[in-house]
Chain A
């Protein structure tokens, strides 16, 4: 990363990757938290441990589901769009035009997207975690009658800083994977409509697979 730093480009990308993914992330997070609470409640009830529902939901969200599901949602919504945008610029010679103007396309096009991913994805993951925990509260406390105090207390006692650090580390690395893979696939797309379609599909599939594989290895290191 070298100067000139393109602050406006970076803000645009943060808006595109972060802000515009908010709706889908909130929706996914809410229902994920709700279904976790539903499943968790009936499992914990067998052992008479409904009071631990909050910690089950929160740990699942913060350690695994938040980073992974938010990253998959961003891949589907923003990653595919990144590949398509850069691919169209490649096919219509807009990237060549940047080259002929002596403007480095990596610096102008790719770097702001990578930085946007690095910052945008962790913010979305944080949002995902919070909304997911509240989704669990809605079902667990309001619908199934778990005590509100025990829901929050179990979260407070179970969640440690290392869980949060682990989630942050995962979300940063997922942000890098999404922006890197999707930009690469768009930049080196074949010069046809079919090639662009394949590049977009490959970007989404490859990003998703790499996220899941990397998640396993990172988790095994963090635990």
Chain B
């Protein structure tokens, strides 16, 4: 469903992506890891057409979006949602209005129909009764939950998560991770997450990919990934503590 072929991108004079080849499995949670400044968020933005590659293609289904603009790109984007690092909630709107926004703007839904769908979504992310609050009144974790509700309210096929737990305490980060995996399993969307939360992501993800020197060095299920022999990658994934795998992944 989502495939990057030979994607290269230079920002200013700095080459960031040097030929990324990556196929994201449908209906699975794939996490992209890598050192800071490697271009993980840049890679994620290519997947939804916020950035266009200097070379290479980005395939969403059978559409190459690497050169698309305007309405044709928007048609493809309707299949996506994205949770930004800072949640990117509209600060002039309440939580309810933020979540209702895509329903009103894109589906032209109105009144009780919108309210029912938004309330249901807020309840699923643990923000029931918080709809009247404004983003400035929310904690970091609550903002991420509200952002997640807004991302999922349109029932997207593909959801991109850009460092969803950055700036959160470990307990809140764990809660957000659990929420993402629960939602992914409930709705069955294809999820791509950029994260620094090692080793936790090995427990959560179906696939892990590492971006190294502008290329995907390894992409594999967690159990296979941790057996990589590259000493740099081994050091990178074990520096935060021992890698813990989910039961199914460990047995495989």
Which A residues form the contact surface with B (CB < 8 A)? 88-89, 92-94, 96-97, 99-104, 108
Which of the listed residues A96, A99, A102, A104 has the most CB atoms from chain B within 10 Å of its own CB?
A: A102
Q: Is the interface of A mostly helix, strand, loop or mixed?
A: helix
Nearest-CB residue, chain A, relative to B92 = A85
Number of residues from B at the complex interface, CB < 8 A: 23
CB-CB under 8 A for A100 and B106, given A94-B90, A94-B91: no
B78 within 8 Å of A (CB atoms): yes
Are A102 and B84 in contact, CB atoms less than 8 angstroms apart? no
> A101: which of B86, B89, B106 is its contact (CB, 8 Å)?
B106
Nearest residue, chain A, Cβ from B48? A100
CB of A195, distance to nearest CB on chain B (Å): 14
Closest chain A residue to B154, Cβ basis: A101
8 Å CB contact of A99 from B77, B78, B85, B105: B77
Closest A-B pairs by Cβ, 9 of them: A102-B74, A97-B88, A93-B88, A102-B77, A100-B82, A93-B84, A101-B102, A102-B78, A94-B88
Give the shortest distance, in Å, between B138 (CB) and chain A (any CB).
Answer: 14
Q: Are B105 and A96 in contact (CB under 8 A)?
A: no
Q: In the complex, what residues of A have CB within 8 A of residue B77's CB? A: 99-102
Q: Pick the contact of B88: A96, A102, A104 (CB < 8 A).
A: A96
User: Measured between C-beta atoms, what is the minimum distance from B204 to chain A in Å?
Assistant: 23
Cβ contacts under 8 Å, B62 to chain A:
none
Q: Does residue B43 face the partner (Cβ distance < 8 Å to A)? A: no
C-alpha gap A182/B86 in the complex (Å): 25
Interface residues of chain B, those whose CB is within 8 Å of chain A, are: 45, 48-50, 74-75, 77-78, 80-82, 84-86, 88-91, 101-102, 105-106, 154
Q: Tell whether, in the assembled complex, residue B74 and residue A104 are in contact, meaning their CB atoms are under 8 Å apart.
A: yes
Besides A88-B91, A93-B84, A94-B89, 14 other A-B contacts (C-beta < 8 A)? A93-B85, A94-B88, A94-B91, A96-B84, A97-B90, A100-B80, A100-B82, A101-B81, A101-B102, A101-B105, A101-B154, A102-B74, A102-B75, A104-B74
CA distance A99 to B74 in the complex (A): 8
Contacts of A96 in B (CB 8 A): 45, 50, 82, 84, 88
Residues of A close to B84: CB separation below 8 A? 93, 96-97
Closest to A104 in B: B74
**What chain B residues lie within 8 Å of A102 (beta carbons)?**
74-75, 77-78, 106
Q: Decide: A100 and B81 in contact? CB cutoff 8 A.
A: yes
The CA-CA distance from A25 to B154 in the complex, in Å, is 45
Give the residue among B75, B89, B105, B154 with the most A Cβ atoms within 10 A. Answer: B105
Which residues of chain B are within 8 angstroms of A88 by Cβ–Cβ distance?
91
Q: Closest residue to A97 on the B side, CB-wise?
A: B88
Q: Which residue of A lies closest to B86 (CB)?
A: A92
Inside 8 A of B85's CB, which chain A residues have their CB? 93
Question: B106 and A103: CB pair below 8 A?
Answer: yes
Among A93, A99, A103, the residue within 8 A (CB) of B86 is A93
Closest to B73 in A: A102
Which single member of B88, B89, B105 contacts A103 (CB below 8 Å)?
Answer: B105
- Please report the C-alpha to C-alpha distance between residue A112 and residue B148 in the assembled complex, in whole angstroms: 28
**Nearest B residue (CB) for A100:** B82
Tell me, in angstroms, the Cα distance from A11 to B159 when the chains sit together: 34
- Return chain A residues, CB-CB under 8 Å to B88: 92-94, 96-97
* Between-chain CB contacts (< 8 Å), 29 pairs: A88-B91, A89-B90, A92-B86, A92-B88, A93-B84, A93-B85, A94-B89, A94-B90, A94-B91, A96-B45, A96-B50, A96-B84, A96-B88, A97-B84, A97-B88, A97-B90, A99-B49, A99-B50, A99-B77, A100-B48, A100-B77, A101-B101, A101-B105, A101-B106, A102-B74, A102-B75, A102-B77, A103-B102, A108-B105
